[in-house]
Amino acid sequence: MKHDFSNKILPVLAIFAGLLAVDIAYSLVAAKIDFSSEAAAVGSFPDKWIHGSKSAMDNTDAAVQVHEYNEHTFILRENKAINYEGAFMYVFFGNGVAMLIDQGSTASPVLFPLREVVDEIIATWEQKHQQKVQLIVANSHLHGDHFAAWNQFVDRPNTLLVGLTHEEMMAFWGFENYPQQLLEYDLGGRKMLVTGTPGHQGSEIAIYDEWTDLLYTGDMFYRGRLYLEDWDAWVDSIQRIYKIANDYPISALVNNHIEMTDTPTVDYPIGTTWQPNEPPMEMTVDMLGQAYEATKVIKEPGIYKYDDFLIYNEIPWAYTTDP
Amino acid sequence: MLIAPLSLTRFAMIWLSLAAVFMPQVVNSHILNMTEITVVPGDQAPGVIRITIDLGQSLMTPEDYWAASTEPDKEKRKDIVRIIVGQLNNGIRVFGDGKELAKAFANLELRAFSLEAIKNPLTPQMAVLEFTFQAGFVSAAATGALTEVAKNTVKDIAIEIADDLELPWPCLVRIERPLAKLPASRLLTEDKRQTGAVALQDGAESEAGTDWLTRATLQFQSWVGPITWLSLGFQHIVPNGLDHIAFVMGLYFLSLPLVKLLWQISVFTLAHSITLLLATFNVIPAPANIVEPLIALSIVYVAMDNLFAKRLRRMRVSVVFGFGLIHGLGFASSLSALSVFDDAGGLRLHDLLLFNVGVELGQLSVILGLLVLLGWARNASFYKERIADPFSMGIAGVGLYWFVKRVFS
């Protein structure tokens, strides 16, 4: 019996123990990231974003500026010398998954190699955290300056493209009652709240990230000209995200563009490709509060100036504040 | 829209400042003057392709576009844009099942606030052109005589933009799919001018745009539909069913004459067929959290039995039958991801049997593989000590590992 144990059972146990040890070692190395902490994960914004140049032809800045807000959150900006929109894009990481929100204003991978940049961010993250991630290509809303480079991801392996129709967006997030619904979305253990925010565009969403306490407001609220095609819808949207901002801790509001100068109420002219005196992109709940108050007093179409944003309420372009 | 090289920027800024004074129009920023194409396949009516395009910034001069958009006479307006309509008709091609569909010009809407606005690329003045085509789908509600459209039912639609047609890029294509859950979206650019075939129904395989091998496989499968179920069953063992492979290997390494080995396999087969059928009908449950650890234990048992048994005991056959019942529940839970029921809820027994036959072929192929690799040594004196026992130890160790993993995961 002793002979059987050492000759037959011991090898079986040794194989079992070896496999288990390898499994445990791997799971320790590739430990899941805990996104559940009560306190907001700390992050930082750059002092100044790259903001174009006097001569776009001579611009030598990167086509895509990559800013690591924290190790699982990246903010990207398209070079204004490539497209005046200078759109911001976001990469949020969860366990086993990354989400790219928006794909900029330029289709050409030569001028605007967004896929290459995102692939590098993901490869670096995967190596650091010993996890393979699936990429979700999503959009804040359906305007062309936010999905022009979408095609660069069509043939990317291990990638889910949400799609560029209203119906595909709604199906992905699980909206059954857009825009009123407040949805919980689990990005690999990273809890997010998603709600509809039409007004600027009829498929827009806002996202609250419970891990960083960032509230992402896309094109419906940012430092610039808030172009509103549907005032009533925007009023409801502002009220919805203002409620989120009051119900949950907020570290900052983040969004898609900067069009204001650092002088209150003054914006850069539309089409500007050099903005040396930009204010920060991030905004505060107080600023959102001003928009909330504005929804109570504005009754007519027109341009309404506030220190940090301008409301273009269904107005003719002739009344622009551009010089 | 890309801003022009900066040598022009200063000029553009001055121009914009002047234009601001003269251009009454609704604010439309954050929308590049990109092109949009919407395809609505017909049901009992012709299909429609709707093109929204900034003509004054692409195929027409701003002056011509302004003249056309302000022309009150419909016929004269059509005359002005006749060449453009022809260019779009020839340059934007619609395909149904890979064949180009003839289009007919149907409607035109030219929107513009002012010549200055047309000239300004930041304030797109969009034209909408509609063409019809005689192809589409047939909905379940379609009754009566087949219309021209119904006769030309297509499974997929594709859009292609000719190389010599320059549009304001990118071009967002939306294809309505009334028989599917969602419409489909594709983005076309200067470098990618084809959508590829977009199936009009969910789950419908698109054949165009795939390689010849895939097309040939799909064609073959369409001839011999049931082969799919056979291959699904086979794939459930090889290569996807590592635990089932381990179990069958466990049976093999008892060093029995081939006939007795096949007897064990047959008993196993009979048993798992029974539970597969019962679980498919929901007569018995197949909870994965119980079934999967038991499958792992069955692997440990047969492998350990190999190490200590001198011959095929009757009890082993009974135990193999019992384990077969458990493995059958495992097959059933994977089969539940597929559907062996038709739309009316009836069981497609034919498909279920083929799945089972596929499983058997998978098991036999494992045995065959082992015979090819190790069969030459089956009668050698060293076989048990040097080959069968080490393999059995490895299988038992792996089975034990799976058992622990499945219990605690």
Helix ranges (DSSP H) in B193-287 = 212-223, 227-237, 242-252, 258-280
**Are A83 and B183 a contacting pair at CB < 8 A?**
no
* Secondary structure element (H or E) that encloses residue B367, with its range: helix B349-374
Q: Is any Cβ of chain A less than 8 angstroms from the Cβ of B137?
A: no
Backbone phi and psi for residue B84, each to the nearest 5 degrees, phi listed first:
-65, -40
Tokens standing for residue B36: 């949009």
* Closest approach of A67 to chain B, Cα-based (Å): 23
List, in order, residues 6 or more apart from B245 with CB less than 8 Å away: B237, B238, B366
What pLDDT score does A133 carry?
A: 95
**Are B393 and A15 a contacting pair at CB < 8 A?**
yes
Tokens standing for residue B356: 């089972």
Alpha-carbon span B157 to B163, nearest angstrom: 19
* Secondary structure element (H or E) that encloses residue B149, with its range: helix B148-151
Q: Is any Cβ of chain B less than 8 angstroms from the Cβ of A157?
A: no
For residues A305 and A265, the answer to whether their CB atoms sit within 8 Å is: yes
Distances (CA, A) of B90 to A299, B97, B135: 48, 19, 18
What pLDDT score does B5 carry?
A: 41
What pLDDT score does A252 carry?
A: 98
ipTM of model: 0.83
Phi-psi region of A295 (alpha: psi -120 to 50; beta: other; left: phi over 0): alpha
**Are B9 and A56 a contacting pair at CB < 8 A?**
yes
Looking at residue B120, the DSSP 8-state letter turns out to be -
Q: Angle formed by the axes of helices B314-335 and B242-252, to 10°?
A: 160
Q: With a cut of 50, which residues of chain B have pLDDT below it?
A: 1-27, 204-210, 343
For residues A93 and A72, the answer to whether their CB atoms sit within 8 Å is: yes
**Are B16 and A148 a contacting pair at CB < 8 A?**
no
Q: Angle formed by the axes of helices A231-247 and A285-297, to 10°?
A: 140
Alpha-carbon span A156 to A119, nearest angstrom: 9
Q: Is any Cβ of chain A less than 8 angstroms from the Cβ of B405?
A: yes
Domain boundaries of chain B, sorted by first residue: 31-208, 224-408
Alpha-carbon span A239 to B70, nearest angstrom: 42
Q: Which residues pair with B392 in a beta bridge?
A: none
Q: With a cut of 50, which residues of chain A have pLDDT below it?
A: 317-323
Nearest alpha carbon to residue B355 among B226, B214, B248: B226
**Which residues in chain B touch residue A19, judged by CB atoms under 8 angstroms apart?**
397-398, 401
* Closest approach of B147 to chain A, Cα-based (Å): 29
- Contacting A residues, span 96-125, partner chain B, CB-CB under 8 Å: 105-108, 111
**Which residues in chain B touch residue A56, judged by CB atoms under 8 angstroms apart?**
3, 5-6, 9
What pLDDT score does B9 carry?
A: 43
Helix ranges (DSSP H) in chain A = 2-4, 10-29, 114-129, 166-173, 231-247, 285-297
Phi-psi region of A199 (alpha: psi -120 to 50; beta: other; left: phi over 0): left
Alpha-carbon span A319 to B20, nearest angstrom: 8
**Which residues in chain A touch residue B190, judged by CB atoms under 8 angstroms apart?**
107-108
Tokens standing for residue A158: 């291990």
Alpha-carbon span B395 to B304, nearest angstrom: 9
Q: Which of B17, B22, B400 sits opposite A12 (nearest CB)?
A: B400
**Which residues in chain A touch residue B191, judged by CB atoms under 8 angstroms apart?**
108
**Are B3 and A315 a contacting pair at CB < 8 A?**
no
Q: Is any Cβ of chain A less than 8 angstroms from the Cβ of B10?
A: no
Q: Is any Cβ of chain B less than 8 angstroms from the Cβ of A3?
A: no
Q: Is any Cβ of chain B less than 8 angstroms from the Cβ of A318?
A: yes
Backbone phi and psi for residue B251, each to the nearest 5 degrees, phi listed first:
-65, -40
Alpha-carbon span A56 to A273, nearest angstrom: 7
**Are A15 and B397 a contacting pair at CB < 8 A?**
yes
For residues B131 and B104, the answer to whether their CB atoms sit within 8 Å is: yes
**Which residues in chain B touch residue A23, judged by CB atoms under 8 angstroms apart?**
401, 405
Tokens standing for residue B202: 């969910």
Alpha-carbon span A135 to A161, nearest angstrom: 8
Alpha-carbon span A219 to A221, nearest angstrom: 6
List, in order, residues 6 or more apart from A231 with CB less than 8 Å away: A199, A298, A301, A313, A314
Question: How many contacts, defined by CB atoms under 8 Å, are there between A and B?
Answer: 165
Give B60-71 pLDDT, tens digit per residue.
999 999 999 999
What pLDDT score does B194 carry?
A: 94
Q: Is any Cβ of chain B less than 8 angstroms from the Cβ of A321?
A: no
What pLDDT score does A78 carry?
A: 97
Q: Is any Cβ of chain A less than 8 angstroms from the Cβ of B7?
A: yes
Q: Give the other-Cβ count within 10 Å of B163's Cβ.
A: 9
**Which residues in chain A touch residue B398, judged by CB atoms under 8 angstroms apart?**
15-16, 19
Q: Which of A82, A145, A314 sits opposite B30 (nearest CB)?
A: A145
Q: Give the other-Cβ count within 10 Å of B139's Cβ.
A: 12
Q: Angle formed by the axes of helices B288-308 and B389-408, to 10°?
A: 160
Q: Which of B172, B181, B401 sits opposite A16 (nearest CB)?
A: B401
What pLDDT score does A58 carry?
A: 82
**Are B405 and A23 a contacting pair at CB < 8 A?**
yes
Alpha-carbon span A163 to A157, nearest angstrom: 16
Q: How far is CA B61 from the centre of its chain?
A: 43
Alpha-carbon span B399 to B407, nearest angstrom: 12
Please tell me the total number of residues recorded for chain A in this structure: 323
Chain B interface, best mutation among A4, A10, A16, A230, by max B CB count within 10 A: A16
Q: Chain A: residue nearest B194 by CA?
A: A151
What pLDDT score does A168 carry?
A: 96
pTM here? 0.68
